[in-house]
Amino acid sequence: MTTATVTAGARLHVGFQNLSLARRRLYGGIGVGLEEPRVTVAAEPASGVESDDPLVSEYAARAVDVLDVPGIAVTLEERLPRHVGLGSGTQLALSVLAATARAHGLEPEVRERAPAMGRGGRSGVGVGTFEGGGFVVDAGHPTNRFTTEPPAEGDWTVPPVVARHEIPDEWRFLVVVPEAEPGRSGNDEDASMRSVVERADPAVADEIAGVVTRKLLPAAAEGRLEPFGEAIAEIGRKNGAWYADAQGGVFRPPAGTLVETLEECPVCTGVGQSSWGPVVYGVTDRTHADEAESAARDALADNGLEGRVVVTEAASSGARVRIDDG
């Protein structure tokens, strides 16, 4: 019996390049793949779909259908926190797809099959980091395909990666996961995004384009930490201006208070909110990692919050696969 184990790191989503219908391409995600935290699944061929986890079962059923295989038994060994801004849905769905394919001796063809798994409908960052890790910018979708309603589920292609850079080994990403209401997902997220897109100021997209081309991409290519951090922080705040009405401010509570506190930390740069939050992130280096972690724990305590703090490297590769032939 072949067992395929797939493990993938979380991703941070800095923001989108454009949310206005007045520009030719919509969305265009910007993000970073992380080494930690991770999702890990193990899969064996079966005559049907077997899993103790309802969401894993849902994704496994899709994978079996997409791959046209008899069945799969999937065990969830490590779980990412759901709906907090770490890309848990995409990383789990693609991990289940890849494990199912590998257990049956097939190529997963993740990018091509992601839409059938319900992923990549807006941002392509999660698919891009699953494939290769690193810092990723995607091309977005043609605006005329979306108007005020997105295409039917699965009726899209994942946006291509237009820039990918390895993150220097000495950089560290501070990830703060406060115990708070989950970020938006599913139909609630779709409704919020439609509302944001319908009202989005195209001038903000033009400002972001300048930050991406003149600040962010050069800093990423040259491995310059502080300019990179300054650029992602600026992009995050400009995205927050689009979302302010939908989430109660430039950053949603309690992420906003954590961002304000961590911006005062002298060893952190690039502080922002990932996706709909409540995860807050920052960038530091190996030398100052302990100091940054301590500042994050203090920020939680000072704001009366419980939560988890992770200091991690960026992912230098995509998801990892191990095959065991029993």
pLDDT digits (tens, 9 = 90+) for 135-149: 999 999 999 876 556
Is residue 6 within 8 Å of 30, Cβ to Cβ? no
What would the mean pLDDT of 187-214 be, rounded to a whole number? 89
Contact 317, 133 (CB under 8 A): yes
Residues 124-174 have pLDDT tens digits of: 999 999 999 999 999 999 998 765 566 677 778 999 999 999 999 999 999
pLDDT bracket for residue 307 (50, 70, 90): very high
Rounded (5°) CA angle 250-251-253: 130
pLDDT value for 148: 55
What pLDDT was estimated at residue 249? 87
Question: Residue 217 — very low, low, confident or very high, per pLDDT cuts 50/70/90?
Answer: very high
The contacts found for 227-232 with CB under 8 angstroms, 24 or more apart, are 228/269, 228/270, 228/283, 229/268, 229/269, 229/270, 229/271, 229/282, 229/283, 230/269, 230/270, 231/270, 232/14, 232/30, 232/270, 232/272, 232/283
pLDDT of residue 188: 67
Instruction: Give CA–CA dist 308/299, Å, rounded.
Output: 11
Specify the amino acid at residue 312: T
In the beta sheet, which residues pair with residue 25? Answer: 142
pLDDT grade, residue 318 (50/70/90)? very high
Question: Rounded distance, CA 173 to CA 236, Å?
Answer: 16
β-strands 141-142, 25-45: how paired? Answer: antiparallel
Pairing of strands 72-78, 49-50: parallel
Q: Which is it for strands 25-45 and 269-273: parallel, antiparallel or unpaired?
A: unpaired
> In terms of residue numbers, what domain contains 137?
2-325
236-252 residues labelled b (16+ CB within 10 A) or e (exposed): bbbbbebbeebbeebbb
- What's the whole-model pTM score? 0.95
What CATH number did the domain enclosing 300 receive?
A: 3.30.70.890
Range 256-262 average pLDDT: 96
Which stretches does DSSP call E strand in the chain?
Answer: 2-18, 25-45, 49-50, 72-78, 135-138, 141-142, 161-165, 171-178, 269-273, 280-285, 307-312, 320-325
Residue type, 180: A
**pLDDT for position 194:** 82
Cβ contact 183:277 at 8 Å: yes
User: Which residue matches tokens 């789990």?
Assistant: 92
From the list 9, 78, 86, 89, the residue with the least C-alpha distance to 42 is: 78
Phi, psi angles (nearest 5°) of residue 22: -80, -5
Three-class HEC string of 92-141: HHHHHHHHHHHHCCCCCCHHHHCHHHCCCCCCCHHHHHHHHCCEEEECCE
The H or E element spanning position 66 is helix 54-67
Interval 33-65: pLDDT, tens: 999 999 999 999 999 999 999 999 999 999 999
Predicted local distance difference test score (pLDDT) of residue 120: 94
pLDDT of 287 higher than 60: yes
3-class SS shares of the chain: helix, strand, coil, % to 5:
40, 30, 30
How many separate domains does the chain show? 1
Give tens-digit pLDDT for 177-200.
Answer: 999 887 555 666 677 788 899 899
pLDDT at 193: 83
